[in-house]
Structure 1
Amino acid sequence: MLTEERHQMILNALDGKNAVTLSELCSLLGASASTVRRDLNHLAERGLLIKIHGGAMPCIDKFSFGEQNIEEKSHLYNDEKTAIAKYAASLIEDGDFVFIDAGTTTEKMIDYISAKNVTFVTNAFVHAKKLAQRGFKVFLPAGEIKLTTEAIVGAECVSSLQAYNFTKSFIGANGISLSAGVSTPDRNEASIKAEVIRHSMNAYILSDHSKFDQITSVTFTDLDKVIIITDKLSDKKYLTAANIKEVM
């Protein structure tokens, strides 16, 4: 049997199923385990399936390359974002040195922070104003303003953040996927998020359920490098790959 034929049979076997085992595929293809493993590796590298222990599962991720602006995002999943924001805010303690990313869910956090002796760094100028109005010490990094997300971005921003060591960081995302990790459409924003995670004792991703099984242009961290706070998972497969807190 040709390699291409085996690959198509594997994909056909996954159609409509949650997973298939290695032994099932060996029997179906009349091939050795080592051959099927090579096939699975190849298909996984092409993003056509997800290789798991003892078999494979279908890749149901949706690719998205556009990005909504802040105004459009602010009308989506408000109850879910509020629940996520409340829980995230409860994690901030007196004495923390915290990074808060730009975004609608991270902005909601600010109203629910009860700790007092906290210093913040944020790349969102709207967040900085709200934090300062609440009496917190706030630092803004240098950089270029991106109006669609109301964020400060660019190489200067990344450089400004390299000197900091955060006790906690709260970061937004556009896509969460088993195959592609945590992603965002903008390379400049991805660089900032990745830099912050490298300099954080605890890095939290704040994402409602709609961001799961989504892939956007640039991956900025792996699932096992962060803690994800979401409203409710529709697919529990993520619980084996990431530390996830559901708040609804």
Structure 2
Amino acid sequence: MLTEERHSMIIKAVNERASVTIAELSEILNVSASTVKRDLIILANEGKIIKVRGGAMSKNDSFSSVEKNVEEKSAICTEEKNSIAGYAAKLIEKGDFVFLDAGTTTEKMIDHLTVRDVTFVTNGFIHAKKLAVKGYKVFITGGEIKASTEAIVGAECVLTLKNYNFTKCFMGTNGISLTAGFTTPDVNEAKVKAAAIESSREVYVLADHSKFDEVSSATFAGLGKAVIITDRIPNRKYKEAADITEVGQ
């Protein structure tokens, strides 16, 4: 197969699927993974695709390295976030030891909590206050306060989380992609999220439909690491790649 033909087929596959892995392209084109990698570099340099770790995504997908502040996030998909938060809160059981990630959807979970005898750890200082006011035992991680997202990040926070063994953790995300996984614009927040996930028995990522086919600067987990709780998925291919609960169904 000529190089031009391969490139044309790659662009077609990427645009049809929104994102595609190197392994999938290797099978489609019947060529080695190293050949696919070289082709992706060329096409990315030509501005025809976006190269990501393990594959490529369509130029139609949204990429962002800019973090919205809490006020901006709170105004997006408010009804959907509330439905997701309500469902997630019901998953918490008596005796659970829970990590609650900083974020607007995870914060809404607190309003729906009814079960008692639960201990929480959080890197969200607003979350910690709300949990304490409701009478829950809550620990807040040490580290650096990031004002824009009201989150605690940094090496101290990561080290703290590595010493815990959570029964469940509930995580927010800025983007979900078939190739890039769960992403966030801030590398330090990504490290915190990754540490919490590795210390948890059950992992849930709370994300409304607007987060799908979005990619930010840093990946903190692959899609197989968590159950996604969302209102709906805009791309049905995610059903094949991840464990997803649609609360809007």
TM-score, structure 2 normalization: 0.85
Distance 1:13 1:102, change over 3 A: closer
* Map 1:1-248 → 2, pairs under 5 A: 3=3, 5-11=4-10, 13-14=12-13, 17-18=16-17, 33-34=30-31, 39-40=35-36, 42-43=38-39, 48=49, 59=58, 60-248=60-248
3-state secondary structure, aligned to 2:219: strand
Cα 1:58–1:154 shift into 2, 3 Å: closer
Where does structure 1 lack aligned partners over 5 or more consecutive residues? Answer: 27-32, 51-55
Deviation track 1:150-204 (CA, whole Å, cap 9, x = no partner) reads: 0111101111111110000001100100110100000111000000000000011
Structure 1 Cα separation of the partners of residues 70 and 125 of structure 2: 13
Matched-pair identity in %: 52
Counterpart CA distance in 1 for 2:14 and 2:188 is: 37
- Length, aligned pairs only: 235
- Whole-angstrom CA distance in 2 between matches of 1:43 and 1:140: 47
Per-residue deviation, residues 28-56 of structure 1 (Å, max 9, x unmatched): xxxxx336x76545456777489xxxxx9
Task: Pick the structure with greater CA Rg.
Answer: 1
Q: Distance in 1 between matches of 2:56 and 2:154?
A: 38
1:60-100 deviation digits (Å, cap 9, x = unpaired): 53211101100111111000000000000000000000000
The change in CA–CA distance for 1:220 and 1:13 in structure 2 (over 3 A counts) is: closer
CA distance in 1, matches of 2:187, 2:68: 16
Is contact 2:230–2:247 with CA below 8 Å preserved after alignment? yes
TM-score (norm 1): 0.85
TM-fit CA distance, 1:13: 3.9
Q: Give the aligned partner of residue 29 of structure 1.
A: none
C-alpha distance in 2 between matches for 1:85 and 1:196? 19
Amino acid at match of 1:233: I
Structure 2 gaps of 5+ residues are none
Cα distance, 1:115–1:44 mapped onto 2, change above 3 Å: farther
Distance 2:201 2:234 in 1: 29
* 8 Å Cα contact 1:183-1:215 kept in structure 2: yes
Structure 1, residues 200-219: CA drift from partner, whole Å, max 9, x if none? 00011011111100110000
Q: Give the Å deviation of 1:11.
A: 3.8
